[in-house]
Structure 1
Amino acid sequence: MKKLIPALLAVCACGGVGAQDMGKLLATGGVSQVEGAGGGGITPWALISGYGSRDSWGANAHYTQVSTQDYKLKTYGVAVGIQDRLELSFANQEFTGSLAPLDKLNIKQDIVGLKYKVLGDAVYDQDSWLPQVAVGVMYKKNKGVRGLEGLGVTNVKQLGAKDDSGYDYYVSATKIYLEYSLLLNATLRATRANQMGILGFGGDKSDDTRLKPEFSAAYLITRKLALGAEYRFKPHNLGVDDEKAYYDAFLAWFPTRNVSVTAAYANLGDITIFNPKKQKGLYLSLQAGF
């Protein structure tokens, strides 16, 4: 699937779509979600990444870091939006620990995402109740566990996960009310991922794919500044991981179409039974695009 990124860029360069025009309204490409898709910080939206219009394309790169008391999650990636219809994204996640017995923990994961807008337009359909709706898929590949070799653990399956790779499928509906400077989003995700896949897929408690809802709301304080909140329900598949819902409150700044900065207070719930407390901390993301 990674080969699709240069292929799509080649289509753009060869004239398959119009020249890059930055034609969309400021902030309507969203920011980069921690799994690489366009949306909020922890949940994807139906909006397509980039500022390319229906006759154009756009792309961005991002770096995100979430730091809690005992863990740190770093994510970097790229996304390409084609004709405000199709989005392809790639992200790498690195999860590390700072408190014994997991102070040497290091887990990496690659995520390839595809999103397609199926109906509606969040900006231009202001006279309709119909939201913009998109369907998406994320393929996730866990790259193993480091730092626990002394315990004989080098793969997430040794922690109870059934698989070290898997798919998330989702449908998102996003509605923007320009009159009220308000964005509302609801996402329904079919998943068996443990902590987004960082701890693998399925487990000793459950190996079923389950539907989990996710919600976002954002208010545009000014044309360049948005305040919002998100909530994401999670499965609980592993006995060693008392997984809870994620939620955050964020402030996103869009000084230009080329740059955005998002800061948030995030609560990731319990991560493992080895450090049994709610993991809360700062989320910071920088996105640059064209």
Structure 2
Amino acid sequence: MGKLVLTGGISSAEGTAGGGITPWAMIGTQATEKELGFAANLSYGHTDDYRIETASVMAGWHERVEFSLAHQTLDTGITGRTLVGPQGLDLKQTIVGAKVRLFGDAILDADSLMPAVSVGVQHKRLDAGELSPTLRSLDASNTGTDVYVSATKLFLKPGLLVNATLRATKANQNGFLGFGGNANDDYELMSEFSVAKLIRSDLAVGMEYRFMPNNLRLDTPNGNGLAADSWKDLFIAWAPSKNLSLTAAYVDFGRIVPATTQGRDQTGFYVSAQLTF
């Protein structure tokens, strides 16, 4: 019969099951124990100066293991034109992910305080094109691997989901500006949080907050021209059928290369559609 709608989350921007910008402990797709499930997702985000497109696929097995593959393309807008010329610049990133649920079950343990807990890994490879020499000069690598632990608790009666993720990462702006750098080249632990409220069985609203590391340093008159801020969003997710979910969100990614965007916070919208079986 599959899961309750929306309890497996959606495909995040990195391809794994969760919210839009952070993973949850749930295993994605509609598959339950002794089943194999698949999902495909397309998403688009637009901020003041950037646009991002993501296509991803996911497989979930036995409600225990999840594999994901995502490909992202970032149109760098004014930043690309400033750095490489009027032709602009697209940054492309491929993310291969795996997640294992260690213990706990969001539905079966809904009447206790036991959360579902999963551990995951995401290997990221960036194709920075003409930006590659600049990233190398800043000691940033084009590959990196994130490791995370997520704990997710679903309170079924009030329809409330709470998630906390702790991620070890070197990724700059989720990897779009490489990994590590001249300000820091060590792994850092970054926290991520999600809260979602089920308004009715097919409709949920929520918010997410994700801390980002500051590994790159570029001194400019107004401070660090490569400063990174926390990511956050407010979202609404609707499942018109068991196999389809649609998500829309207001996003705030903070400063992304403020040296070229006059220090503007990158706010805008994000939309996503997912088919799952």
Q: TM-score, normalised by structure 1?
A: 0.88
Once residues 220 and 202 of structure 1 are traced to their aligned partners in structure 2, the CA distance between those partners, rounded to angstroms, is: 38
What amino acid is the match of 2:94? D
Cα distance change, pair 200–117 in 1 and its aligned pair in 2 (3 A): same
Checking the alignment, whether the CA contact within 8 Å between 1:81 and 1:87 is kept in structure 2 is yes
Question: Which runs of structure 2 are paired with 1:190-201 in the superposition (5 Å)?
Answer: 190-201=168-179
- Name the residue aligned to 2:221: none
Alignment partner of 2:244 out of 227, 240, 259 = 259
The equivalent residue for 2:136 is 158
Identity of aligned residues (%): 44
> Equivalent residue for 2:260?
274
How many pairs were matched up? 263
Equivalences for residues 69-84 of structure 1 within 5 A: 69-84=48-63
1:224 maps to: 202
1:34 aligns with 2:13: yes
- Please say which of residues 237-246 and 80-89 is displaced more in the overlay: 237-246
Q: Once the two structures are superposed, what CA deviation does each residue of 1:137-188 show, in whole Å capped at 9, x if it has no partner?
A: 0000112224xxxxxx445633514311010000000010111010000000
Structure 1 counterpart of 2:90: 106
8 Å CA contact 2:76–2:91 kept in 1: the answer is no
Aligned partner of residue 101 in structure 1, secondary structure: helix
Distance 1:101 1:112 in 2: 31
Q: CA RMSD in A?
A: 1.3
Tell me if the contact between 1:109 and 1:143 (Cα under 8 Å) persists in the aligned partners: yes
C-alpha distance in 2, partners of 1:58/1:155? 41
AA at the equivalent of 1:244: D
Q: Which position in structure 1 is the counterpart of 2:23? A: 44
Which residue pairs with 2:108 in the alignment? 124
2:68 aligns to what SS in structure 1?
A: strand
Aligned residue identity for 1:177: F
- Identify if the C-alpha distance between structure 1 residues 63 and 161 changes in structure 2 by more than 3 Å, giving closer, same or farther: farther
Unaligned runs of 5+ in 1: 1-21, 147-152
1:135-150 to structure 2, matched below 5 A, reads 135-146=119-130
- Aligned AA (1:105): L
Query: Aligned partners of 1:172, 1:162: CA distance in 2, in Å?
Result: 27
Unaligned runs of 5+ in 2: 219-225
Match of 2:222 in 1: none
Deviates more, 1:213-222 or 1:272-281: 272-281
Q: Distance in 2 between matches of 1:179 and 1:280?
A: 34
CA contact (8 A) 2:111 2:155 kept: no
Q: Could you state the TM-score of these two structures normalised by the residue count of structure 2?
A: 0.92
Deviates more, 1:32-41 or 1:153-162: 153-162
Moved over 2 A (4+): 97-100, 153-159
| 1:90 matched residue in structure 2 | 69
Comparing 180-189 with 137-146, greater Cα deviation is found at 137-146
Matches for 1:49-68 after TM superposition, within 5 Å: 49-68=28-47
